[in-house]
């Protein structure tokens, strides 16, 4: 994604040293938001990704980071959300996280004397 962003032209009226992709650093916040919405719309159109929108890529990023084993706190820092919001929207089950979940459960059973543990309506028996 960064490589694609780096190919974008500078924002209108931006100096050559401008460090922003969607803002020239000079206009108002309102104008900046309108500019990045138009720019992203052009990027999405060119990419030919169906139903593309910025939030979709945010969700993908969060899910991939959690699936790669990054902590909830790291994802919170990247997204700028609260831990509760990240947990609710992005911390749900995903295929990549399942081995880590199974490892945690096996470790728990291996290090406890509990005959079983109840999770909601499910009771897991210690092998």
Comparing CA positions, the residue from 96, 89, 95 lying closest to residue 72 is 89
Within-domain flag for 81: no
pLDDT at 114: 58
Of 41-45, 66-70, 106-110, which gets the smallest average pLDDT? Answer: 106-110
Question: Is the pLDDT reported for residue 117 higher than 80?
Answer: no
- Kindly report the pTM of this predicted structure: 0.52
Most confident of 11-25, 27-41, 70-84, 97-111: 70-84
What's the residue count for the chain?
127
Which residue intervals of the chain are DSSP H helices?
2-6, 29-47, 54-67, 72-79, 83-90, 98-111
What is the total count of domains within the chain? 2
Range of the domain at 43: 1-52
pLDDT beyond 60 at 11? yes
64 is a domain residue? no
Residue 58's pLDDT is 86
Give yes or no for residue 86 having a pLDDT over 60. yes
Say if 86 falls within a structural domain: no
**Residue 67 is assigned to a structural domain of this protein:** no
């Amino acid at each position: 994604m960064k490589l694609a962003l780096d190919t974008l032209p500078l924002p209108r009226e931006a100096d050559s040293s401008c460090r922003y992709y969607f803002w020239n650093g000079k206009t108002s916040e309102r104008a900046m938001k309108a500019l990045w919405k138009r720019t992203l719309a052009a990027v999405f159109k060119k990419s030919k990704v169906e139903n593309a929108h910025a939030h979709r890529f945010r969700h993908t990023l969060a899910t991939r980071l959690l699936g790669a084993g990054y902590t909830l706190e790291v994802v919170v820092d990247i997204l700028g959300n609260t831990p509760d919001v990240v947990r609710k929207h992005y911390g749900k089950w995903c295929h990549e996280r399942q081995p880590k979940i199974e490892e945690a459960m096996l470790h728990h059973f291996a290090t406890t004397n509990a005959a079983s543990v109840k999770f909601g309506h499910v009771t897991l028996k210690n092998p």
